[in-house]
Amino acid sequence: MSRHKLLFLILAGLVLARTPARADMADHPSTEKLRVAAEVGFAPFNFRQADGSVTGFSYDMSQEIAKRLGRPGYDVVDIVFANIYAALQAKRIEYIIGPMTITPQRSAEMLFGEPYFDVALAFLTRADSRVKTIEDFRGKTVAVTSGSVQDEWMKANAEKYGIEVSRFDKTADAVQAVAIKRVSAYMTTSASALWTAKNQPVFGADVIVKTEGVFALPFRKDDVEFRDLVDVKLKCMKRDGTLAGIYRKWFGTDPAPDSATVKIYPGHGAPGWPGYTPDAPPLLCD
């Protein structure tokens, strides 16, 4: 693991040293498969089925984007969450499909596209847990995924609530740590916690923390042209109901009409965040 990371670091450095960073559609060749990355194992957004293939809401969404971009296929590279940014910057991938909440730090480093999902946070616990409020975690250990918004939330709030934090590289390991009572809970996206609790009865999902956050697709900072192109495809998927259909498939209900999954945002990018362009030509869908 550590050796892979270091090797990757060196390779990434070499790649960067050789290729001058320039926004270029040549990084997105229409004759090649769309290369994207996620930390696979984050149900129901992107996770493996029994036969080893990847599936999920994010997977389906970007598969449709690849199709509408006219790319001949679609490859998902599985990278632990905290390393995904380095892979993006090193041009190993074209964008990140793994759900990503827009944050000030991330938007300083990356270019976000059209928001597509409203985010709340929740604690995945065991079904027999007696936790009712966040105060009940005082003196207990809670897992997070390294580098996630929950990790960041803990950096700001763990001390206040007296929570001990365990940071895992992989979501699957953190979920497992809950199952074997290593930790009292795993703090994650509420949609994921609810899905896991519903599909695996040993788990429960408690204490939803409401946030203003949204998921949006992250691109390289200078990749404006490609971001705008993908934005258009995503807006069209909202307009013709494809995205709502994918949402129904994974969450069993219709997305709320005012949610980021339905609402078509004006301009390109996420309003209020760096890299947002308010002016865009009228939306034309095929």
Partner 1 sequence: MGDILHLYFNLGYWWDSAPALLRGAGRTLELAAATLIFGLSCGLAMAVTRALRIAPLSVVIVMMVDAARAVPGIVVIFLLYFALPYADIRLPAFVCAVLALASNLAAVSEEAFWAGIQAVPRGQSEAARALGLSRLVILRRIIMPQGIRLGIPLLTGKAISITKDTALASVVAVPELLNQMSTEQGVYANPSPLMLGAIMFLLIFLPVVRGSRWLERRFQWAR
Shortest Å distance, C-beta 106 to partner 1:
4
CB 137 within 8 A of CB 121: no
Minimum CB distance to partner 1 smaller for 166 or for 211? 166
- Give the residue, chosen from 21, 127, 208, 256, that forms a contact with partner 1 under the rule CB under 8 A: 21
Q: DSSP of 53-81, one letter per residue?
A: -EESHHHHHHHHHHHHTT-S-EEEEE--G
Shortest Å distance, C-beta 189 to partner 1:
15
- Give the residue, chosen from 62, 63, 101, 148, that forms a contact with partner 1 under the rule CB under 8 A: 148
Minimum CB distance to partner 1 smaller for 37 or for 110? 110
Shortest Å distance, C-beta 278 to partner 1:
24
Q: DSSP of 128-190, one letter per residue?
A: T----SGGGGTT-EEEEETTSHHHHHHHHHHHHHT-EEEEESSHHHHHHHHHTTSSSEEEEEH
Which 103-122 residues touch partner 1, going by CB under 8 A? 103, 105-106, 108-110
Minimum CB distance to partner 1 smaller for 66 or for 80? 80
For residue 2, give the amino acid letter.
S
Tokens found for residue 165: 């934090």
What distance in Å separates the CA atoms of residue 261 and residue 282, rounded to the nearest whole number? 20
Minimum CB distance to partner 1 smaller for 140 or for 263? 140
Shortest Å distance, C-beta 48 to partner 1:
18
Q: Any contact of residue 219 with partner 1 (CB under 8 A)?
A: no
Instruction: Please report the sign of the dihedral spanned by the C-alpha atoms of residue 145, residue 149, residue 155, residue 158.
Output: negative
Rg (CA), the chain: 19
- Give the residue, chosen from 23, 77, 82, 158, that forms a contact with partner 1 under the rule CB under 8 A: 82
Shortest Å distance, C-beta 22 to partner 1:
10
Span interacting with partner 1, options 102-110, 128-136, 244-252, 276-284, rule CB under 8 A = 102-110
Sketch the per residue contact string, 153 through 192, with partner 1: x for CB under 8 A, - otherwise: --x----------xxxxx--xx-xx--xxx----------
Q: Any contact of residue 12 with partner 1 (CB under 8 A)?
A: yes
Q: Any contact of residue 16 with partner 1 (CB under 8 A)?
A: yes
CB 42 within 8 A of CB 193: no
Query: Could you tell me which of 185, 9, 208, 216 has the C-alpha nearest to residue 114?
Result: 216
**Cross-strand pairs, 54:** 48
Span interacting with partner 1, options 9-17, 114-122, 201-209, 259-267, rule CB under 8 A = 9-17
- The per-residue b/e assignment along 129-158, b for 16 or more CB within 10 angstroms, e otherwise, is bebeebebbeeeebbbbebbbbbebbeeeb
Binding residues for partner 1, rule: CB under 8 A, are 1-2, 5-6, 9, 12-13, 16-17, 21, 80-83, 85-86, 89, 103, 105-106, 108-110, 143, 146-148, 151-152, 155, 166-170, 173-174, 176-177, 180-182
